[in-house]
């Protein structure tokens, strides 16, 4: 029998990573609120959150095909912001490249919510590409919220072109309207990002009602 002691193996990088239960609850709560309001439906949209100061280069993001109104811990995965590698769980959302590009462009951004708001989408169809008229209303709050909105051209979802275009617009705006696609909102928390999406969706409803 060998008398040599076995050196204990260090835990793998994946074993040391985990998603805090509080973060999963934040995803579940915010995405369900967005789903209830018609900002999300079925499996569309996605959400992400920086993991925190203990792992500043890591982001938690919803998995591909996740029903956002019924998120569980298994519906979230971890990715490296710098390399784009999946560190835990997966496969990540098809729009993960867009999230990572935004985080690289906006170090102050801690959370991203990408929704498909039905009223904003309906308004964009009615506006027929007239970006200058989008959410233009003679209301004090309209200009406050519209000033936070940037625009991205119509590009195929999940592509590098879309990710780069949205990240460029997000460099100076906290919300980006993706023509023919949906809305991307940034915040310190997912709740902040949802609040911004709600305000813009509310303005879209008012503009639709005012132009009937």
Angle at 168 between CA 164 and CA 169, to 5 degrees: 120
Query: How many independent structural domains does the chain possess?
Result: 1
Which CATH number belongs to the domain containing residue 125 in this structure?
Answer: 3.40.225.10
pLDDT at 104: 96
pLDDT at 7: 45
pLDDT at 128: 79
Answer yes or no: is 175 within a domain: yes
Q: Averaged in consecutive runs of 10 residues, what is the pLDDT profile of the chain (212 residues)?
A: 43 61 94 95 93 86 91 93 92 94 96 96 87 90 94 92 97 96 96 97 94 71
For 153-197, the three-class secondary structure string (H helix, E strand, C coil) is CCCCCCCHHHHHHHHHHHCCCCEEEECCCEEEEEECCHHHHHHHH
pLDDT at 212: 61
Answer yes or no: is 12 within a domain: no
Tokens encoding 135: 């959410």
pLDDT at 16: 67
Among 109, 89, 134, 88, CA closest to 98: 109
Phi-psi group of 90: left, alpha or beta (phi > 0 → left; psi -120 to 50 → alpha; rest → beta) = left
Rg, Å, the chain Cα set:
19
Residue range of the domain that includes 64: 21-210
Q: Please report the beta strands in the chain, taking only residues with DSSP state E, as ranges in sequence order.
A: 46-50, 58-62, 76-80, 86-88, 111-115, 149-152, 175-178, 182-187
Question: Could you tell me the pTM of the whole model?
Answer: 0.89
Answer yes or no: is 14 within a domain: no
Answer yes or no: is 4 within a domain: no
Answer yes or no: is 80 within a domain: yes
């Amino acid at each position: 029998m060998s008398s040599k002691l076995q050196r204990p193996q260090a835990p793998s990088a994946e074993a040391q990573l985990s998603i805090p239960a509080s973060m999963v609850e934040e995803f579940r709560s915010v995405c369900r609120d967005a789903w209830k309001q018609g900002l999300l439906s079925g499996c569309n949209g996605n959400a992400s959150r920086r993991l925190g100061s203990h792992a500043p280069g890591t982001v938690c993001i919803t998995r591909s095909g996740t029903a956002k109104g019924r998120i569980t811990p298994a519906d979230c995965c971890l990715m490296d912001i710098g390399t784009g590698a999946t560190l835990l769980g997966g496969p990540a959302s098809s729009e993960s490249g867009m999230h990572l590009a935004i985080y690289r462009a906006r170090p102050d951004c801690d959370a991203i919510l990408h929704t498909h708001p039905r009223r904003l989408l309906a308004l964009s169809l009615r506006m027929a590409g007239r970006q200058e008229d989008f959410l233009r209303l003679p209301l004090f709050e309209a200009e406050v919220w519209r000033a936070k909105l940037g625009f991205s051209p119509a590009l195929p979802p999940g592509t590098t072109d879309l990710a780069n275009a949205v990240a460029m617009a997000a460099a100076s705006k906290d919300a980006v309207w993706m023509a023919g696609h949906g809305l991307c909102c940034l915040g310190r928390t997912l709740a902040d990002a949802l609040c911004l999406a709600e305000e813009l969706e509310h303005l879209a409803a008012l503009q639709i009602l005012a132009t009937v």
